Amino acid sequence: MKIKHYLFLTVLTLFSSGVIFSCKPPETEFTNGKVQLRFSEDTVFFDTLISTVKSVTKRLKIYNDESKAVSIAYIGITNASNAFDITVNGINGNDFEHTDLLAGDSLLILLNASLEEQNQDLPFVVEETLSFMTNGVEQTVPVIAWGQDAHFLRDSVLVCNSSWRAGKPYVIYDNILVDSLCNLTIEPGTRIYSHFGSTIYVQGTVHANGTAQKPILFTNDRFDSGFDTAPGQWGGIVFLEGSKDNEISFTTIKNARDAIWLGTPDDDNIPDLTLTNTRIENTSGSGILCFTSDLSMTNCLVDNCGEFVLAALAGGTIEIAHSTLANYGLGFFRTQPIAVFTDNLELNDGSVLSGDLTVSAQNSIIWGTQQDEVVFSDAGGKLFDIDMSHNLIRSTDNSFSNKNIINQDPLFVSPFEFNYRIDTLSPAIDQGVDLGISFDLDSLQRDNLPDLGAYEWRQD
């Protein structure tokens, strides 16, 4: 038995050795001829980067379409600007030697950028070259980044009576506060970029008055593809109790969580915030949230909001003229109507906040994909004064039908491309009354039979 066992182990060992030896891979064959590597991109392009802020990672794939392996003698970036770094096979550096690439295989290169400040207001460009040398053949891929110097604000209370000017944009990290009894003046052409989650708090007063030629912009600080129209990238603008006399005109506010949060209860009906010629777009939450507050909006477009487009809760005075409130749920599913007006609000502790509510809406369009896009609630038992006339509304509430156009599609030019101008056959044409608002959101002059909404129809 012992002899048989010994013979069995010997045979098994020899058999295993044979298998091992027979599975040894052949020597890799390398081509010595001219080689043309193939690249996933002909240019590595970084869209506008804020100076000193590290970019997102870009990827470049290199393909070997040859029938044999190739040895890339050199991979390197000129990097005279010291703006870029590359990673090959998990190793970071500026140049690499003797990188093998098997037949039909690919190599991934990761690129990052961090641009130095140029001490200038205008955008600038940085260009370098990524080079590859294979069997004496050099191939290059341009690496290009647009940069922009900026003013940085981080978790701070602003100096009282500050002014922000056009030129370098303002980049906000964490939160900033306009303190009580202080003013922030934002001049035409100013750009404000907010980092993820950051919020602008206002306990004093903001005057953000752009012009048709030099509008003001509030948005997020990422400009790469997919983020320039992504909702919920920053917190929005929050007006706290005590804030008053705020003005925002010729301004775009986009990609926020709740673009405007107005919580400014007081004893008068003077607008705490006046919005004119303003676009509010792409919010993950609401476009405008008001809590017992006074709001005036004229020539405004508020669209593509994950929750409410406009909500006035627990009372307040709301004035809407020549504005378009639209929601097609582009990019998300929504359950809330476009506009909600209530004289009450139940708080988390079960108590109810209530206040007098006055709503005036004229020459406006409130339209979306739900059957009832305007909802009222007078459960608070307070003054409830609603005046809505010469509007186009989507609703099953018959009380609107005497003075408004109900359930007729406004025929926006292209709502799924965020174009809410009205088309040639729109029922909103010539249905308004003269409110003395001479120009529309595009600065086009209105005639004596103005159209409903923020835009006057024009024949292109």
For the segment 377-433, what is each residue's pLDDT rounded down to a tens digit? 999 999 999 999 999 999 999 888 889 999 999 999 999 999 999 999 999 999 999
Nearest-CA neighbor of 256 among 195, 323, 166?
A: 195
The answer to whether position 329 is within a domain reads yes
Q: Quick one: pLDDT at residue 399?
A: 83
pLDDT value at 113 more than 50 = yes
Exposure string for 267-302, b = 16+ CB within 10 A, e = fewer: eeeebbbbbbbbbbbbbbbbbbbbbbbbbbbbbbbb
| 345 vs 80: which has the higher pLDDT | 345
The answer to whether position 371 is within a domain reads yes
Q: Quick one: pLDDT at residue 458?
A: 87
Q: Are residues 309 and 372 in the same domain?
A: yes
Q: Are residues 378 and 353 in the same domain?
A: yes
Q: Quick one: pLDDT at residue 171?
A: 97
Q: Average pLDDT, stretch 104-117?
A: 96
Q: Quick one: pLDDT at residue 62?
A: 97
Angle CA(140)–CA(142)–CA(148) in degrees, nearest 5?
160
The answer to whether position 243 is within a domain reads yes
Q: Are residues 259 and 369 in the same domain?
A: yes
> Among the listed ranges 17-31, 83-97, 286-300, which one has the minimum average pLDDT value?
17-31
Q: Are residues 187 and 210 in the same domain?
A: yes
**What range defines the domain where residue 237 resides?**
151-422
Residue 119: CATH number of its domain: 2.60.40.2310
At 27, is the pLDDT very low, low, confident or very high (cuts 50, 70, 90)?
Answer: low
Q: Are residues 138 and 161 in the same domain?
A: no
> Among the listed ranges 91-100, 209-218, 449-458, which one has the minimum average pLDDT value?
91-100
Q: Are residues 240 and 335 in the same domain?
A: yes
Q: Are residues 226 and 338 in the same domain?
A: yes
> What pLDDT digit, counting tens, does each position of 434-445 carry?
999 999 999 999
The answer to whether position 95 is within a domain reads yes
Q: Are residues 133 and 177 in the same domain?
A: no
Q: Are residues 134 and 169 in the same domain?
A: no
Domain boundary among 147, 173, 204: 147
pLDDT value at 25 more than 70 = no
> What pLDDT digit, counting tens, does each position of 84-94 carry?
999 999 999 88
Q: Using an 8 Å Cβ cutoff, are 415 and 440 in contact?
A: no
Q: Are residues 198 and 310 in the same domain?
A: yes
- Number of domains into which the chain is organized: 2
The answer to whether position 54 is within a domain reads yes
Q: Quick one: pLDDT at residue 5?
A: 45
The answer to whether position 29 is within a domain reads no
Q: Quick one: pLDDT at residue 225?
A: 79
> What pLDDT digit, counting tens, does each position of 219-255 carry?
999 988 788 889 999 999 999 999 999 999 999 999 9
